[in-house]
């Protein structure tokens, strides 16, 4: 799975603004089934994504009447097996930056890779 990715968030965002809107988007992303988000694209050590303990931060939102575009950081754990003493797995904290455009009525979202914050142009 590569970007862009279309998913169903399963939420209705009609009428929501500000913090309640950001909270609803973050909650909906955390509740997605394992493997739904393309977090493997942010892995650096060839490991597997442990996505049962996601931390989701909505960095910026650009709401319109029909859609919401959210710049989102998703923090997760990458687990790499067999690379240390006794082949014990090693965990690495990772994150993925995504631009997510969500249709307010349907909850259908399009995820695209976002530039790292330190590489954004002003």
4-14 pLDDT, tens digit per residue, is 999 999 888 99
H helices of 1-122, in order, are 18-30
Q: Is residue 122 in a domain?
A: no
Q: What is the pTM of this model?
A: 0.86
Q: Which domain holds residue 33?
A: 7-115
Residue 63 contacts by C-beta under 8 Å, 6 or more apart in sequence? 17, 21, 69
Quote the tokens at residue 54.
């996601």
Rounded to 5 degrees, what angle do the CA atoms 91, 92, 96 make?
135
Q: Scan for tokens 């690379």, then name that residue.
A: 83
Q: Is residue 13 in a domain?
A: yes
Angstrom distance (rounded) from CA 98 to CA 112: 6
Where is average pLDDT lowest: 37-46, 51-60, 83-92?
83-92
Can you tell me the mean pLDDT for 44-64?
92
Tens of pLDDT, residue by residue over 58-101, are: 999 999 999 999 999 999 999 988 655 667 788 899 999 999 99
Q: Is residue 75 in a domain?
A: yes
Q: Scan for tokens 């965990």, then name that residue.
A: 91
pLDDT at 47 (0 to 100): 86
pLDDT at 122 (0 to 100): 47
Q: What's the total number of domains in the chain?
A: 1
Q: Is residue 44 in a domain?
A: yes
Q: Is residue 87 in a domain?
A: yes
Quote the tokens at residue 25.
């988007």
Q: Is residue 1 in a domain?
A: no
């Amino acid at each position: 799975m590569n970007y862009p990715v279309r998913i169903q968030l399963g939420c209705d965002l009609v009428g929501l603004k500000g913090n309640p809107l950001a909270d609803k988007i973050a909650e909906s992303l955390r509740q997605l089934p394992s493997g739904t988000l393309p977090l493997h694209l942010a892995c650096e050590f060839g490991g597997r994504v442990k996505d049962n303990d996601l931390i989701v931060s909505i960095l910026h939102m650009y709401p319109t009447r029909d859609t919401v575009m959210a710049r989102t950081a998703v923090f997760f754990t990458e687990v790499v097996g067999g690379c240390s003493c006794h082949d014990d797995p090693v965990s690495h904290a990772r994150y993925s930056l995504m631009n997510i455009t969500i249709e307010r009525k349907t909850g259908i979202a399009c995820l695209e890779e976002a530039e790292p914050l330190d590489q954004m142009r002003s």
